[in-house]
Amino acid sequence: MNKILHHKTPKLRFPGFNDEWDVKKLGDLLEIKSASRVHKNEWTKSGVPFFRSSDVVAIFKRKVNVKAYISQALFEKLTLKSGSIKKGDILITGGGSIGIPYLVKSNRPLYFKDADLLWAKQSDHFNPFFLFIFFTSPKFRRYLNSISHIGTIKHYTIEQAKATPIAFPTLLEQQKIAGFLKGVDDKIAGLQRKKELLEKYKKGIMQKIFSQELRFPGFTEPWQEKKLGSVLVKNKLRNKYQAISYVQSVSNRQGFVSQADYFEGANIASKNTSNYFVIRKGTFAYNPSRIDVGSLAYKSEEEDSIVSPLYVTFTAKAEVKDKFLFDWFSSAKFMRQMHHSFEGSVRNTLSYEALAKMTIMIPGKEEQQKIAEFLTGIDEKIKREERKLEQVKQFKKALLQQMFV
């Protein structure tokens, strides 16, 4: 048996359960198979959902993606050959981001792409949610790494799935574990929904503010339309004498981050950083080829850093408050202009020159301050929910480490 599973009892158990867990290969406990081939020209825009690995990954990460379907007639023809998916079955990604599970929650018609996904049929040996959680556990992730010669593998095959070792207790203990962890998952989902609702609320309220549909009491002065370039100052300060060694990157969601952390310890900075831009408190930066996915940051920390010369960096003049401008970059007004200002035939790129030609409506400084304070209040609520969410996720991670063998 695989050396990773040499312990037969977990560190953390519910009272009353003392027996050792059994250890077997998945293929000895349940049927693992694939689907019949479906060609892309047989996909439709509606009908029976047709899952690919991208669909399973999107559901697992609570993301939205473009769905695919097949006709009811094709579905009935295929299920005569391969059988139909039932509630409690699990689909597992076999390509791309491998080993990601999806627990089938109903008997509604569903089909999937062969090779992309593996089909683990429900078995009397397992509580379905227990098996689903196994596929998310650190134990299983380590096993995936262990069967790779280069640290990662591009495919998780049916034969590899059948050979996967699993330690499991009685159905009664499985049910206890599954029920408890389902409660933790429900808590995570609830916090995620609350965070998403706050983000949606902020997005909606920002559109009303920046379109002047909503204004705070006491402010009636008309906003002034200006070219963005007239209120920005392009940053030209370079790390000429290489006096600054702290290299940062711009992430899509976290703003400025340590480059070493962002690239998991890899040092991708040039040995000579004399042409890197110096980033001081109050500086904006964006990746001109990734600004459309949120790669824009504002430096609020005191510590100076440097970024690659590939970034566009600038500061705002005194007439526009930094927070007002930073939130404006997330508004529909900016997004529309950005998409009309892209350059490049292969990849959308936004140069500083194109940015400077955009227009922005600017209120008086007192109204800017009021807007900034209001939106900051929403940001703080979102951050509180993010912290709660991260705490529960870490709690679940610790549980998975100790509740599975």
Look at residue 1 in the predicted model and tell me its pLDDT: 38
- In DSSP notation, 224-250 reads EEEEGGGTEEE---B-TT-----BEEE
Residue 187 CB: number of other CB atoms within 10 A?
Answer: 16
Look at residue 344 in the predicted model and tell me its pLDDT: 74
- Short-list 339, 326, 352, CA closest to 233: 352
Round to whole Å and give the CA distance between 261 and 265. 6
Name the 3-class secondary structure at 250. Answer: strand
CA angle, residues 178, 183, 188, in degrees to nearest 5: 120
Phi, psi at 107, each rounded to 5°: -95, 15
Fold exhibited by the domain 22-168:
Adenine-n6-DNA-methyltransferase TaqI; Chain A, domain 2 (3.90.220)
Residue intervals of the chain classified under CATH 3.90.220.20 are: 22-168, 224-362
* CATH number listed for the domain at residues 224-362: 3.90.220.20
Round to whole Å and give the CA distance between 398 and 402. 6
Look at residue 247 in the predicted model and tell me its pLDDT: 93
Round to whole Å and give the CA distance between 117 and 99. 9
Round to whole Å and give the CA distance between 133 and 180. 11
Round to whole Å and give the CA distance between 50 and 44. 9
Q: What is the pLDDT along the chain (405 residues), one digit of tens a residue?
A: 344 445 588 999 999 999 999 999 999 999 999 999 999 999 999 999 999 999 999 999 988 899 999 999 999 999 999 999 999 999 999 988 899 999 999 999 999 998 899 999 999 999 999 999 999 999 999 999 888 654 445 789 999 999 999 999 999 999 999 999 999 999 999 999 999 999 999 999 999 999 999 999 999 999 999 999 999 999 999 999 999 999 999 998 889 998 877 765 556 667 899 999 999 999 999 999 999 888 999 999 999 999 999 999 999 999 999 999 999 999 999 999 999 999 876 778 999 999 999 999 999 999 999 999 999 999 999 999 999 999 999 999 999 999 998
Look at residue 3 in the predicted model and tell me its pLDDT: 45
Looking at residue 235, the DSSP 8-state letter turns out to be -
Look at residue 146 in the predicted model and tell me its pLDDT: 85
The pTM score is 0.83
Structure tokens at 164: 């996967």
